[in-house]
Amino acid sequence: MNTTQRRYEIYEKLKKDKTVQVNELAKVYAVSLMTIRRDLDMLENQGLATKSYGGATLNESISTEPAFEIKEGISQSDKKEIAIFASTLIHDKDSIYLDCGTTCLELFKRIHHKKITIFTNFWKILQYVDRNTKAKIIMAPGTYNPITQAALSESTIQFFQNYYIDKAFISVLGIDLDYGVSIPSMSDALVKKAILASSNKKICMADHTKFNKKYMSKIANIDDFDMIITDDKLESDIHAKNIIKGAVTDKEVSA
């Protein structure tokens, strides 16, 4: 097991049990106490946990967001399912926006060979550009945020106000049918709002773990989106006319 997967599992255990012990984790993962302490240091530095003697406790704040490397390990198969479905909505000559998020990264991997224009402030996308990339990629300026690995500042907002985009694909951390869609970061929320205002079709991508959650910074209401794409694990009692469960396979897409 690599470091990223271990830290994701420790974070998931923290969310479930509210507390973890260094000795116990070291035995479970067959690593040294120092290795576990470094894992807990990382979670504490992000504001997700508070270290205590011999362990750590969860910080249950609505204003904290896990770093990209933690989010990348969550619901991976569900995110791929969503990305595969979303890729069927994108056609040559489209101009699209790809948000900062792990599901958007999965989507990029499936569409960068198309003759489209991609607007994004998500710098991690550039790591996946290769010689097969046919998309024109336009990177937004702004101050780099290490948690989201994206540009998030006033200059980012001003940049998107100058463009019209066919389809915006937005990532969020919380969806509540009454409250709407939300994230912990106000700076990220303001950028997303500017993008939605500049876009024709507004598409939210969120796996089932994001539902019934609220965060400090609201982006929009549920019905502000043309489509909310999720996975088949979403509870049946959560429904709205624009919520769609992605159930398209890679094989079906290529057929």
Q: Cβ contacts of residue 138 below 8 Å, gap of 6+?
A: 117, 118, 119, 120
Q: How confident is the model at residue 45 (pLDDT cuts 50, 70, 90)?
A: confident
Give the model's pLDDT for residue 10.
87
How many helices (H) and strands (E) in the chain? 9, 15
75-121, pLDDT tens digit by residue?
577 888 999 999 999 999 999 999 998 899 999 999 999 999 999 99
Which tokens in the block code for residue 253? 């897409």
With pLDDT > 70 as the criterion, what percentage of the chain qualifies?
A: 90
Q: Does the predicted model carry a pTM greater than 0.85?
A: no
Instruction: 141-148: list long-range contacts, CB under 8 Å, 24+ apart.
Output: 142/191, 145/185, 145/187, 145/188, 146/67, 147/46, 147/65, 147/66, 147/67, 147/68, 147/185, 148/65, 148/68, 148/100, 148/101, 148/122, 148/185, 148/188
Q: Which of 80, 106, 13, 12 is nearest to 232 (CA)?
A: 80
- Indicate the pLDDT class of residue 67, thresholds 50, 70 and 90: low
Has residue 12 got a pLDDT over 60? Answer: yes
- Quote the pLDDT of residue 251: 45
Per-residue model confidence (pLDDT) at position 249:
46
Q: Is the pLDDT assigned to residue 254 strictly greater than 60?
A: no
Report the pLDDT averaged over residues 23-44.
91
Using alpha carbons, select from 148, 195, 155 the residue that is nearest to residue 173.
Answer: 148
Range from 13-27, 55-69, 167-181, 226-240 carrying the lowest mean pLDDT: 55-69
